[in-house]
A and B are shown apart, each in its own frame.
Chain A
Amino acid sequence: MIRVQDLTYAPQPGLAILAGVTLTIARGEWVWLRGARHAGKSVLLRIIAALLRPTQGEVWWDDVSLQRLPARALPYWRRRVGMLFTEWPLIADQPVIESVALPLIIQGTPRRRAHARVRQWFDELGLAEQAELLPHELSGSERQLALWVRAVLHAPILLLLDEPTAGACAETAMRLWRLIAAAHAAGATVLVATGGDVPFLHEHPVRRVTLVRGRVVEDVHP
């Protein structure tokens, strides 16, 4: 269970991106964070991933507070999380397979095995021929699929997805939503943030949380 308690994030005095957000997310739940730009969705995901420290408040995973963990323990938390963030793209001057295999390599999986796992995923998604290309040689849809593979490759317990279909064509976007649904069905806790409406999510048992200027204004359970 994730407990977000009275979370405030203000990088400058008077500029509160999150203002007292409190949420409780059960294991295996799928939460859709909705909101316009600057609503605070992305910042909330980053604080949950322990990439940002909140100005105030805490995030709990079961009975462990991420803010009270020593700095050396935080990487181990991040290794249990699958992330798809726009500012963490594929590494520009390395073949796609290198970037995608990183979560496994960081965990200590031998490079060859990590690459084999990536190839398995790529085969399933029809990206086998793109594995050795550089990121700029892929289409937007292919890049998003590769990022998706990087997010789920190490079987994380929590998926944090920020605009997971950005830059993908409609067909690939639908495919990505189905993949997310499958990961959720397999037991992952999913937090997905989008700026716009996603018809696909209306047809699924997804909890909708709407943020406006850093505050939760709507929380609709399925």
Chain B
Amino acid sequence: MTLRRTRRISGLLWHAATLGGVVAWGVWFGVLVATFAFWLQAQRDPFTVGVVFALDADAAAQTFVVTAPETGPWQRAERLSDDAVRALLRFEESEPTAALVLPPVVRLVPREWEANALADAVGALRARPDVRQVVYDALWLARWQAWQTWGTRLVQGLGALVALLWFAALCALIAHAARATAEACALRFALGGGRIATLLPLWQRVWLGALLAAGFAILFVLAAFQWLNPAWSAWLSAYGFDGDPLRLLAHRFVGAVPADSGALVVVLSGAAAVLAAFPPALVVLAYPLRALLPRSLR
């Protein structure tokens, strides 16, 4: 292989890695923002844990189980109207689908409940002959409790710091590239470059395109999250999911999410974030490392 070809290949690899890094960073950032938005939403939601009951259609079709902290763990309620069900399910602003209301699907446990008490209550409910199915999801509670522990706070704080550092490093990288591009553009302009094709070399146009694509990807993720979230929450709630895209992702990867899958989801989410952050990390590190390459390969 000739020296020139070696350089060309290494140059192509270099740009491919850079490009991959930018795109991966865009995705990672999108996931980060989506997760943050989800967390914010969770803070607003007065119900931490969703418990879904599908009662026996013959015996108790008109019966819903609701909870209230002041009346004890479980309370057999009177027949509820559809409007009341909608209100209970917090779907006041949207039309619930039939699948959500029939068979009767109700929840809910206030945030103050502890996981053990909830598990006991769910166990007791499962033992009842008139209850056909109990779908129990403790993710919200597990996550909330995890937030309460100092260890998790520390880890999450460090994670946020690392993310911030990545962001700063990437900004510096982009600023460096922008400066180099501006210098090259100025020179090309002086030498008679006019149109974008003569002002920007191909690989810088690709770069610019990648940055724009990453920006659009972030916007898309945000928009999709906002747009899909009510529908997702509603649809997934019926199946024991709460609309968290990361949970859905975990569900896709590992199949059915176990009842108390909070830890698994947290681990999966963390692993996904680390994996997504890895390529940009390589790019950021590769710039200074590039100076160490033999001159002939640069």
Tell whether A91 is near chain B: CB-to-CB under 8 Å. yes
Instruction: Flag B187-205 by CB within 8 Å of A: 1 or 0 each.
Output: 1111111100010000000
Selected from B4, B180, B191, B192, the residue in CB contact (under 8 A) with A93 is: B180
Where chain B touches its partner, the secondary structure class is helix
Tell whether A218 is near chain B: CB-to-CB under 8 Å. no
| Residues from 84 to 125 in B contacting A, C-beta threshold 8 Å | none
Selected from A76, A99, A137, the residue in CB contact (under 8 A) with B187 is: A99
Establish whether residues B295 and A137, one from each chain, have CB atoms under 8 Å apart when the complex forms.
yes
Establish whether residues A75 and B193, one from each chain, have CB atoms under 8 Å apart when the complex forms.
yes
Establish whether residues B183 and A83, one from each chain, have CB atoms under 8 Å apart when the complex forms.
no
A51 vs B194: C-alpha distance when bound (angstroms): 12
Tell whether A49 is near chain B: CB-to-CB under 8 Å. yes
| Residues from 226 to 254 in B contacting A, C-beta threshold 8 Å | none
Instruction: Flag A149-193 by CB within 8 Å of B: 1 or 0 each.
Output: 010000000000000000000000000000000000000000000
A150 vs B192: C-alpha distance when bound (angstroms): 13
CB neighbours (8 Å) of B192 from chain A are: 75-79, 81, 103, 106-107
Q: Looking at chain A, what size class is its interface with the partner chain? A: 20 to 34
Establish whether residues B187 and A91, one from each chain, have CB atoms under 8 Å apart when the complex forms.
yes
Establish whether residues B180 and A88, one from each chain, have CB atoms under 8 Å apart when the complex forms.
no
Indicate whether A106 sits within 8 Å of B198 (C-beta atoms), given known contacts A75-B192, A83-B190. Answer: yes
Establish whether residues A49 and B184, one from each chain, have CB atoms under 8 Å apart when the complex forms.
no
Establish whether residues A78 and B190, one from each chain, have CB atoms under 8 Å apart when the complex forms.
yes
Tell whether B7 is near chain A: CB-to-CB under 8 Å. yes
For B, the interface residue count at a CB cutoff of 8 angstroms equals 18
Tell whether A85 is near chain B: CB-to-CB under 8 Å. yes
**A49 CB, min distance to chain B CBs, angstroms:** 7
A198 vs B176: C-alpha distance when bound (angstroms): 40
Establish whether residues B187 and A75, one from each chain, have CB atoms under 8 Å apart when the complex forms.
no
Selected from B7, B193, B295, the residue in CB contact (under 8 A) with A106 is: B193
A4 vs B189: C-alpha distance when bound (angstroms): 23
Tell whether A68 is near chain B: CB-to-CB under 8 Å. no
CB neighbours (8 Å) of B3 from chain A are: 132
Closest to A72 in B: B194
Establish whether residues B188 and A102, one from each chain, have CB atoms under 8 Å apart when the complex forms.
yes
CB neighbours (8 Å) of A103 from chain B are: 191-192
A102 vs B298: C-alpha distance when bound (angstroms): 20
Closest to B195 in A: A75
**B295 CB, min distance to chain A CBs, angstroms:** 7
A196 vs B187: C-alpha distance when bound (angstroms): 27
Establish whether residues A106 and B191, one from each chain, have CB atoms under 8 Å apart when the complex forms.
yes
| Residues from 204 to 220 in A contacting B, C-beta threshold 8 Å | none
**B227 CB, min distance to chain A CBs, angstroms:** 42
A24 vs B190: C-alpha distance when bound (angstroms): 24
A85 vs B187: C-alpha distance when bound (angstroms): 10
CB neighbours (8 Å) of A94 from chain B are: 184
Indicate whether A91 sits within 8 Å of B183 (C-beta atoms), given known contacts A106-B198, A137-B295. Answer: yes
A137 vs B291: C-alpha distance when bound (angstroms): 13
Closest to A81 in B: B192
Residues in chain B within 8 A of chain A (CB atoms): 3-4, 7, 180, 183-184, 186-194, 198, 295, 298
What are 21 A-B pairs with beta-carbon distances under 8 A?
A51-B190, A72-B194, A75-B193, A76-B194, A77-B192, A78-B191, A78-B192, A79-B192, A83-B190, A83-B191, A88-B186, A88-B187, A88-B190, A91-B183, A91-B184, A91-B187, A92-B180, A92-B183, A132-B4, A132-B7, A137-B295
Top-9 shortest CB links A-B? A75-B194, A79-B192, A78-B192, A75-B192, A106-B198, A106-B193, A103-B191, A88-B190, A106-B192
